[in-house]
Structure 1
Amino acid sequence: MDWETHARRLAADTVRPESRWYEPLATTPRHLLVPRWWDNEGGRWALRDGESDPEAWARAAYTDRALVTQVGPLHADHAEPETVTEGRPTSSSTLPGLVVTMYRHAMITDNSHVLVTTGTGYGTALACRRLGAELVTSVDVDAHLVTTARQRLQALGLRPHLAVCDITGPLPGEYDGSCPPCPCGPSRPPGWRPCARAGAWSPRSPEPGSSSPRTRPTTAAR
């Protein structure tokens, strides 16, 4: 697969060439972080395996769309070939445009220490490409996601700090910016507040009628 061409097109479709997020988007092989996913077919979820259909893999991975990776308790990594299932999505690779938008609204700078959630590891990879892995901490409550993301990120030469933890509880370290796993309304999960350094920023839910997350300053609990 000529993934670099696909990644450059995704970057061009998502941000301006002068954006500091252009290179992370253009140099991150998203398909390697999402080798299997679920497609919705008439309300049911059909397993897709990238290696068995490289063209579909490239189209899915390098389009600005979310890729569902878990339905109910069944992760695509663990499903039998040609599985079709029903239920609600419980994990996904967020669409790249939204990941970058959330990072922008977190007011991330070149020297920011950031806290992100793991999932497939794609958002973590973008943050590592932008800042350097030493400035990125990535957490998830699901040990499988953390272990798998660590292995796939290491295969890309990226070694951020990853940890298994519940974001509603205490979190490791202090950070200049944080990106919750989803818009979380007027307040962030309690565990995100004590780890925010003074002046840190984090995205909030969009205003009604708006597609852009809001931001607000947060003060660390010392």
Structure 2
Amino acid sequence: MTKAPTISASDRMAGAARLLAEIQRTRTDPIPPHWQEALRAVPRDAFLPDLLWLRDGDGGYRPCDRDQDPDGWLTAAYSDAPLVTQFVTESDGTRSPSSSASQPSTVLRLLEDAQLTDQDRVLEIGTGAGYNTALLCARLGANAVTSVEVDADLTARARANLEALSYAPTVAHTDGAHGWDATAPYDRILATCSVRSVPIAWLDQTEPGGRIVTPWDSAWCCYGTLRLTKHDDGDAEGNFAAYGSYMLISGQRTDVELFRDVLRPGQVTRESTTSLSPWSVAGSDPALDFHIGLTVPGVWHSWDTEPAGAHTRLWLANDTATSWASVDYDGRQAETFTVTQHGPRHLWDEVAAAHELWLLAGRPGIDRYGLTVTADAQKVWLDRPDNVVA
């Protein structure tokens, strides 16, 4: 097999120009000059493995090997698209992405939301292969950048990638939920993974007046970005934005499967009916999904198109595997649906109540929600901090 040719400086310049043009087409405002400069200075290809996995259009992934298809690989490297770089095998034998190179336009939005100034010191949570770290170095200088990564192999790879481009930030192998106290405090903490709650270490390691920017996740849906500002009293507060879908930070992941962990023989159930369509609450509107994720904590859902005794079923379960619910469509009429619930939480009742609250609030968008983080609590609010909804 012929080894793919080395990528020339002119190829990289052309690739960066294409990438900037793609990103600009997604925006109504111009890319700030200092970020244009950083995107030109940092070659994205230098942070990618020879084997990439690209969306295949059918919900799966297809391989793209640099040696076999150098032109296709280079085109992918400088496209405004997320690129899967690593898979993990789940307990049921399926493979799911465990590491990826994020979509550059989303990377840029996170960087812009950090509102960096030339004097800022930044902690990045999730080094990955080091591309975002390099962009921070190009913007601020390597001495102002600290990055942490939980995966030892990725940490080593990122250090090598950064060193090859003469960037020397502090890169530490540790759980990102702990931050990095050795070089704290920071003016900005920027996460490249999502969270379901803000680690208190991040709050402690941020300077008053500093910002924490992190993608958001809930058991119901993975979407949104949180922008917090730390106040002089030590609390932090800020709104969500309607973009961003990142892998969940490792320490907040759960391994719960419906048929393995949740459903058990002999469980006592409660039967009822509902006129609320399951399709109305699961996947019909990103803003509603986000609202349910915030206000019905720890509850996830899945669709079953071949259930016993029904045409289609929406399953709900909590991430402690103590409660579940199902909502059945019989395939004939859509006026009423059969509800079955088990456990101390009445999950369908909770979801239906959250849906009603969302309607009464005027179907609020994601950017109307915010979060207040203190040492003792994290409170979700709508429109203003005193209007707590969860």
- Contact kept, 8 Å, 2:89 with 2:96, in 1: the verdict is no
Please point out which of 167, 177, 191 is paired with 2:188. Answer: 177
Q: Which residue, out of 107, 114, 119, partners 1:106?
A: 114
* Aligned counterpart, 1:149: 158
2:199 equivalent to 1:189? yes
2:229 is aligned with 1:217: yes
Counterpart Cα distance in 2 of 1:194 and 1:73: 35
Pick aligned residue for 1:128 from 137, 140, 159: 137
Could you list the structure 1 runs, at least 4 aligned residues long, displaced by more than 6 angstroms after superposition. none
Residue identity in the other structure for 1:178: I
Cα 1:50/1:190, change in 2 over 3 Å: farther
Tell whether the 8 Å contact from 1:168 to 1:191 is kept in structure 2 after alignment: yes
The answer for unaligned runs of 5 or more in structure 2 is 1-6, 25-29, 217-222, 235-390
The aligned residue for residue 198 of structure 1 is 208
| % identity of equivalent residues | 34
Q: In 2 relative to 1, CA 70–219 (structure 1 residues): closer, same or farther, beyond 3 Å?
A: farther
Could you tell me how far apart the structure 2 residues matched to 1:51 and 1:34 are?
13
CA RMSD in angstroms, aligned pairs only: 2.5
Contact 1:105/1:213, CA 8 A, preserved across alignment: no
Give the partner amino acid of 1:102. Answer: L
Matched residue SS, 1:199: strand
- Is 1:162 the counterpart of 2:171 in the alignment? yes
CA displacement 1:177-219 (0-9 Å, x = unmatched): 111123435x42233121111111122557xxxx974422125
The question of 1:37 aligning with 2:33 is answered: no
Change (3 A) 1:53 1:184: same
Q: Within 5 Å, which residues of 2 pair with 1:29-108?
A: 29-35=43-49, 36-41=51-56, 42-72=58-88, 86-108=94-116
Mapped contact 1:141–1:164 kept (Cα < 8 A): yes
Counterpart of 1:77?
A: none
Please give the alpha-carbon distance, in whole angstroms, between the structure 2 residues aligned to 1:17 and 1:96: 12
Give 3-state SS (helix, strand or coil) of 1:182's partner. coil
In the TM superposition, residue 67 of structure 1 has moved relative to its aligned partner by 0.7
Contact 1:138 1:163 in 2 (8 A): yes
Q: Which moved more, 1:161-170 or 1:60-69?
A: 161-170
Larger displacement relative to structure 2 (107-116 or 9-18):
9-18
**1:205 & 1:140 partners in 2: Cα distance?**
16
The count of corresponding residues between Structure 1 and Structure 2 is 206
> Structure 2 CA distance, aligned partners of 1:63 and 1:88?
22
* Larger-Rg structure: 2
Per-residue CA deviations over 1:7-46 (Å, capped at 9, x if unaligned) read 1221233253653100111121111110332234445544
| TM-score using structure 1 length | 0.82
Which residue of 12, 26, 31 corresponds with 2:40?
A: 26
Check whether the contact 2:192–2:215 (CA below 8 A) recurs between aligned residues.
no
Residue pair 2:194, 2:215 contacting (<8 A) in 1 also: yes
Q: Tell me if structure 1 keeps the 8 A contact 2:190–2:214.
A: no
Amino acid at match of 1:34: L
Q: Specify whether residues 17 and 191 from structure 1 end up closer, same or farther in structure 2 by C-alpha distance, changes over 3 A only.
A: closer
**RCO greater where, 1 or 2, for CA within 8 Å and sep 6 or more?**
1
- 8 Å CA contact 1:139, 1:165 repeated in 2: yes
